[in-house]
Homo-oligomer: A and B are copies of this chain.
């Protein structure tokens, strides 16, 4: 890692400043000063002339991407057992694996591989579920801190309807959460704790209410799952007869946005009432199309969420999702929106590559502040993509090069990566 936070980067610069709008600067200079973008210039301005130059001429330079939802311990079985639906998949695949993370040696080896792969990916910011194990979660945070990625990480809470081998008492769950937060909230430069009730079915009301209080007391964000699968929704309705629906079950316990910055993964089958609640509470939706396709949850109506101006980003949802690559998540988001149009609502206009590029960068990035764009004042997260392997006599505009990169790029095509002004790959 190079901790040199003021420099110039030269290349073919592309970013999104609004949904469906791309800004391009061919063969230009992007200025990073103290970790923040100071603009893009065709000629180096006098006041930056002394900055060191990182020359990537001919390469595409795009903002780093934000993965709003993934499970670090599930990375061990990524791309496996993709033949079950959610509840069975949790019981037979995810839970038994997560239980292994009680063993710190197993956790260390697995999390180092997870961190290596996340560091090499297009992701610069991520909101990560760990397991319910306090020590293993702290270990994951230690490991992620060293990557230079900016991550929010959650010790998972589960005090009901979970296997004996992967459950806590309500009291332990609360105490361990407070211990973990006090150990980690100020311990890192890059890594922050995020309160993480798994989902309503595995957290009692008492626990949820306390977790909401903890968020407010420690000024911490919260992440969970919402409305992924129809069987899950039926189950929540049984468990919470007083709530008007799944979102309201969170709302009633004070764990649904408002003063608590909140991400809810999936949101596949929301009612209109829930869409409005999400909007009112400024909750972020993490759209996870790969996971939704793999475990047959359905397709979220993303066009509708864009029209409703919800806060919206993308999640790989490792390992319901099969790839950590945000490039693949982008392509699957586009394709899923087309399938939605074909099979669910012919009046829903499919998403474009521009729109989904926005979601992967500035859309999800905004959960982290001024992140995911090269507008002045934004944190300097950038990917340098070597795209000459896709060149051919046809010739391409900058926008076309971006679209082709989204469809074709693999982690190995990212030759250099910056997060918050630090070079981390």
Chain A residues packing against B (C-beta within 8 Å): 75-80, 82-83, 97, 100, 106, 109-110, 113, 293-294, 296, 298-299, 322-323, 331, 334-335, 338-339, 341-344, 350, 352-353, 390, 392-394, 396, 400, 403-404, 406-408, 410, 412
Q: State in angstroms the CA–CA spacing of A175 and B76 once bound together.
A: 59
Q: In the bound complex, do residue A339 and residue B293 qualify as a contact, i.e. CB atoms below 8 Å apart?
A: yes
Residues of B within 8 A of A298 (CB): 342
Among B78, B293, B394, contact of A338 (Cβ-Cβ < 8 Å): B293
Q: Distance in Å from the Cβ of A10 to the closest Cβ of chain B?
A: 25
Q: List 9 A-B contacts (CB under 8 A).
A: A78-B407, A79-B390, A79-B406, A80-B403, A82-B353, A83-B352, A293-B339, A294-B338, A339-B339
Among B82, B106, B390, contact of A393 (Cβ-Cβ < 8 Å): B106
Q: State in angstroms the CA–CA spacing of A393 and B136 once bound together.
A: 15
Q: In the bound complex, do residue A293 and residue B335 qualify as a contact, i.e. CB atoms below 8 Å apart?
A: yes
Q: State in angstroms the CA–CA spacing of A344 and B296 once bound together.
A: 13
Residues of B within 8 A of A109 (CB): 392-393
Q: State in angstroms the CA–CA spacing of A54 and B180 once bound together.
A: 52
Q: A80-B403, A352-B83, A407-B322 in contact; A335/B393 too (CB < 8 A)? A: no
Residues of B within 8 A of A352 (CB): 83
Q: State in angstroms the CA–CA spacing of A287 and B334 once bound together.
A: 20
Q: In the bound complex, do residue B341 and residue A343 qualify as a contact, i.e. CB atoms below 8 Å apart?
A: no
Closest residue to A389 on the B side, CB-wise? B117
Residues of B within 8 A of A296 (CB): 338, 341-342, 350
Q: State in angstroms the CA–CA spacing of A298 and B342 once bound together.
A: 7
Residues of B within 8 A of A80 (CB): 396, 400, 403-404, 407
Residues of B within 8 A of A404 (CB): 78-80
Q: Distance in Å from the Cβ of A104 to the closest Cβ of chain B?
A: 12
Q: State in angstroms the CA–CA spacing of A113 and B76 once bound together.
A: 36
Q: In the bound complex, do residue A76 and residue B393 qualify as a contact, i.e. CB atoms below 8 Å apart?
A: yes
Q: In the bound complex, do residue B293 and residue A82 qualify as a contact, i.e. CB atoms below 8 Å apart?
A: no
Residues of B within 8 A of A350 (CB): 83, 296
Q: State in angstroms the CA–CA spacing of A78 and B409 once bound together.
A: 12
Q: Distance in Å from the Cβ of A403 to the closest Cβ of chain B?
A: 6
Q: State in angstroms the CA–CA spacing of A160 and B79 once bound together.
A: 46
Residues of B within 8 A of A342 (CB): 296, 298
Q: Distance in Å from the Cβ of A129 to the closest Cβ of chain B?
A: 17
Residues of B within 8 A of A293 (CB): 335, 338-339
Among B83, B97, B322, B331, contact of A394 (Cβ-Cβ < 8 Å): B97
Among B79, B83, B390, B392, contact of A408 (Cβ-Cβ < 8 Å): B79
Extra contacts, 15 of them, besides A82-B403, A339-B343 (Cβ < 8 A), are: A78-B390, A79-B390, A79-B404, A80-B396, A80-B404, A82-B407, A100-B394, A110-B392, A113-B392, A293-B338, A296-B342, A296-B350, A339-B339, A343-B344, A410-B410
Q: In the bound complex, do residue A77 and residue B322 qualify as a contact, i.e. CB atoms below 8 Å apart?
A: no
Closest residue to A296 on the B side, CB-wise? B338
Residues of B within 8 A of A396 (CB): 80
Q: State in angstroms the CA–CA spacing of A334 and B412 once bound together.
A: 25
Residues of B within 8 A of A344 (CB): 343
- Across the A-B interface, the 10 shortest Cβ-Cβ residue pairs: A79-B407, A343-B343, A76-B394, A79-B404, A293-B335, A322-B407, A109-B393, A76-B392, A296-B338, A113-B392
Q: State in angstroms the CA–CA spacing of A408 and B412 once bound together.
A: 13
Q: State in angstroms the CA–CA spacing of A9 and B89 once bound together.
A: 37
Closest residue to A354 on the B side, CB-wise? B83
Closest residue to A343 on the B side, CB-wise? B343
Most buried by B among A77, A79, A109, A113: A79
Q: Distance in Å from the Cβ of A328 to the closest Cβ of chain B?
A: 9
Q: State in angstroms the CA–CA spacing of A335 and B79 once bound together.
A: 12
Most buried by B among A97, A322, A323, A410: A322
Q: In the bound complex, do residue A110 and residue B393 qualify as a contact, i.e. CB atoms below 8 Å apart?
A: yes
Q: State in angstroms the CA–CA spacing of A323 and B410 once bound together.
A: 12
Q: Distance in Å from the Cβ of A300 to the closest Cβ of chain B?
A: 13
Q: State in angstroms the CA–CA spacing of A410 and B410 once bound together.
A: 8
